[in-house]
């Protein structure tokens, strides 16, 4: 998965000295990138994936926003490539304050690409003055809100470009002394410097947070009397091993190009993340949409980052500091959470984040001052989609997508079930054929299943039932500790222009560096019907509806088969169809 920065490519209409012609802009090159991503698919094992980034002041930005549209000239569309807006703070301030925004060709404003914060603002306003005097032929002035609305409209319509924030990534970067972060990667969690001489590479790993919870009460795992907490001793030991492993990978890895190898060996960045966050909330009995969940997001990420940074200082003591350490934020005694003040100063406000602290950061600062750091960057939260499924926990920092759903990839289709919910329903004696049927009918949501207690419905609310502001808040609590970024999907039911506007402005004010996919609900969904193998809402051959399917089932003779495999349970009693438990290992349909 690649992240490319295309801001330096001159805009449509720019003068070409060599031929005395005019440039076709950035879009034709992006078309080439798109087709290359399709062609290179790791031998059919994994699809090629690319995300291209463009800064908001680029004169081609409006056409860039439309790259994923299904209408228009297909030669200027990239249907197989991801795109992202690389947005400077000055643009967001103009949006908030109702100001105008000027678009330029990078050929006329070459230094903007490498500037951020106040220096960017000073240079940008000088170019605006030149454009106003007519000294820059290629420029365009528009209301900032107009461009912002188009960004959000395209995001809603096509899912792209994603919203990422240039200044938060650069101001808070530990490596701001030796370069500029020009883009993120495919999944928006890596924020490393790139240049003509360096290609950023980051070695990733993820800690299964669920495996680091311990009981502090009596009772079994599913009991209400059982209390849980984060096992700091175990977490510290795991992270110490993980950081050593990732640091080793830097030396033994294969690098396809010299620029990537040189960059990695010089700065030694790694990205340790987490998965199973939602599973931990289930154990703690904290709904995602709650202050308790936000506190856990804060304290758990503080612990992960603290131990990761501590492990890097131990590696530095043993193996030596990374080559470009001198002058970094680490060297200046500035921890990631301290850099929030720097961001607030550069913006002139517009940073509102909970800044509470629970661990001994003073002790860590002293250790870093003495021994330095082995790695320029230590933490980044990647999506962990497939590996989370393999070990049976929720992906990354995601809320539960649905309590039962089918995941598809090149390996096939897999039914994913919330085992915590199943265990809870069994404990309450609510796990039966009717419950299985209702869960399928309501697409894994408990919201409309009245016999499930309200507390349980809140605890097991699915991603689209959690207001997006909670996702942003949890992301902000984690982001203050992280030296890179996180793959933060935004789920939104009933999306509207107003809701999108509020959510992404909040993400900026909360100091998030990046956001990932915007996921919205489709306007329609598949009608639920019966199958020949005793699936959802099946009825007897006489047409009498089963208890689970009463009022919603089709007649038996008109049932639409949904699977070629017949359940072992229903084969025995075709006239009184039963529903097999989802976790029954003897049922062929389940498997």
Active-site residue identified among 55, 66, 189, 473: 189
95 to each of 115, 142, 246, 572, 590, how far by Cα in Å?
Answer: 20, 11, 41, 65, 52
Burial 28-62 (b: 16+ CB within 10 A, else e): eebbebbeebeeeeeeeeeebbbbbbbbbbbbbbb
- Ordered alpha helix ranges (H), 180-290: 232-252, 258-267, 277-284
135 is an active site residue: no
CA-closest candidate to residue 390, choices 573, 206, 587, 519: 206
- Burial class of residue 399, CB neighbours in 10 A (0-12, 13-18, 19+): buried
Phi-psi sector, 288: left (phi>0), alpha (psi -120 to 50), beta: alpha
- Burial class of residue 110, CB neighbours in 10 A (0-12, 13-18, 19+): exposed
- In 345-449, where do the E strands start and end? 404-409, 412-417
CA angle 66/150/498 to nearest 5° reads 135
CA-closest candidate to residue 548, choices 468, 437, 395, 471: 437
Q: Which residues pair with 165 in a beta bridge?
A: 87
Kind and range of the H or E element at 383? none
| HEC letters along 287-301 | CCCCHHHHHHHHHHH
Burial 327-344 (b: 16+ CB within 10 A, else e): ebbbbeebbbbbbbebbb
Active-site residue identified among 187, 202, 305, 378: 187
CA-closest candidate to residue 569, choices 560, 578, 561: 578
Active-site residue identified among 34, 82, 185, 264: 185
What single-letter DSSP state applies at residue 187? Answer: T
Q: Which residues pair with 381 in a beta bridge?
A: 486
CB 349 within 8 A of CB 297: no
CB 281 within 8 A of CB 288: yes
CA-closest candidate to residue 300, choices 421, 392, 396: 396
Q: Tell me the two tokens of residue 45.
A: 């094992």
CB 567 within 8 A of CB 587: yes
Instruction: Give, to the nearest 10 degrees, the angle between helix 89-97 and helix 117-132.
Output: 70
185 is an active site residue: yes
Q: Report whether the peptide linkage leading into residue 543 is cis, meaning its omega lies within 30 degrees of zero.
A: no
Q: Which residues pair with 580 in a beta bridge?
A: none
Q: Tell me the two tokens of residue 510.
A: 């909360």
**Whole-angstrom distance, CA of residue 404 vs CA of residue 413:** 13
Q: Kind of pairing, strands 50-55 and 82-87? A: parallel
What single-letter DSSP state applies at residue 442? Answer: T
Residue positions annotated with a catalytic role: 185, 187, 189
């Amino acid at each position: 998965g690649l992240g490319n920065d295309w801001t330096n490519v001159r805009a449509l209409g720019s003068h070409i000295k060599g031929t005395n012609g005019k440039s076709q802009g950035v879009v034709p090159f992006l078309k080439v990138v798109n087709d290359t991503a399709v062609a290179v698919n790791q031998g059919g094992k994994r699809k090629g994936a690319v995300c291209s980034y463009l800064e908001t002041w680029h004169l081609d930005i409006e056409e860039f926003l439309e790259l994923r549209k299904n209408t228009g000239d297909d030669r200027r569309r990239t249907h197989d490539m991801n795109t992202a807006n690389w947005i400077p703070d000055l643009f967001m301030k103009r949006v908030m304050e109702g100001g105008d925004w000027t678009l330029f060709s990078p050929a006329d404003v070459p230094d903007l690409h490498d500037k951020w914060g106040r220096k960017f603002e000073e240079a940008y306003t000088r170019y605006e003055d030149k454009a106003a005097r007519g000294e820059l032929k290629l420029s365009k002035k528009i209301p900032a809100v107009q461009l912002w609305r188009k960004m959000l409209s395209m995001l809603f319509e096509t899912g792209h470009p994603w919203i990422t924030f240039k200044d938060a990534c650069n101001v808070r970067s530990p490596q701001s002394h030796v370069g500029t972060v020009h883009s993120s990667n495919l999944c928006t969690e890596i924020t490393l410097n790139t240049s003509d001489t360096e290609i950023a590479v980051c070695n990733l790993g993820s800690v299964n947070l669920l495996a680091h919870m311990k009981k502090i009460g009596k009772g079994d795992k599913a009991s209400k009397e059982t209390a849980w907490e984060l096992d700091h001793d175990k977490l510290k030991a795991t992270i110490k091993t993980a950081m050593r492993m990732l640091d080793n990978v830097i030396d033994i890895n294969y690098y396809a190009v010299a620029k990537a190898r040189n960059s990695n060996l010089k700065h030694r960045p790694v990205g340790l993340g987490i998965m199973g966050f939602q599973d931990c909330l289930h154990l703690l009995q904290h709904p995602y949409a709650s202050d308790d969940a936000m506190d856990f997001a804060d304290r758990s990420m503080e612990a992960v980052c603290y131990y990761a940074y501590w492990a890097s200082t131990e590696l530095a003591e043993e193996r030596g500091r990374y080559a470009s350490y001198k002058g970094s934020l680490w060297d200046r005694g500035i921890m990631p959470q301290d850099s929030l003040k720097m961001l607030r100063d550069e913006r002139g406000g517009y940073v509102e984040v909970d800044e509470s602290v629970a661990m001994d950061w003073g002790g860590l600062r002293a250790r870093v001052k003495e021994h330095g750091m082995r790695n320029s960057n230590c933490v980044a939260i990647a999506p962990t989609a497939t590996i989370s499924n393999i070990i049976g926990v929720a992906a990354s920092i995601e809320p539960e997508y649905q309590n039962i759903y089918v995941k598809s990839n090149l390996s096939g289709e897999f039914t994913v079930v919330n085992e915590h919910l199943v265990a809870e329903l069994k404990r309450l004696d609510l796990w039966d054929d009717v419950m299985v049927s209702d869960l399928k009918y309501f697409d894994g949501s408990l919201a409309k299943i009245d016999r499930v207690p309200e507390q349980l419905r809140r605890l097991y609310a699915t991603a689209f039932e959690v207001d997006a502001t909670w996702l942003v808040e949890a992301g902000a609590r984690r982001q203050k500790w992280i030296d890179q970024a996180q793959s933060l999907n935004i789920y939104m039911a009933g999306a509207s222009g107003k809701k999108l506007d509020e959510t992404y402005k909040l993400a900026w004010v909360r100091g998030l560096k990046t956001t990932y996919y915007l996921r919205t609900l489709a306007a329609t969904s598949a009608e639920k019907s019966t199958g020949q193998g005793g699936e959802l809402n099946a009825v007897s051959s006489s047409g009498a509806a089963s208890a689970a399917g009463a009022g919603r089932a089709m007649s038996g003779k008109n049932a639409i088969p949904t699977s070629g495999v017949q359940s072992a349970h229903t084969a025995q009693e075709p006239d009184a169809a039963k529903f097999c438990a989802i976790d029954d290992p003897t049922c062929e349909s389940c498997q």
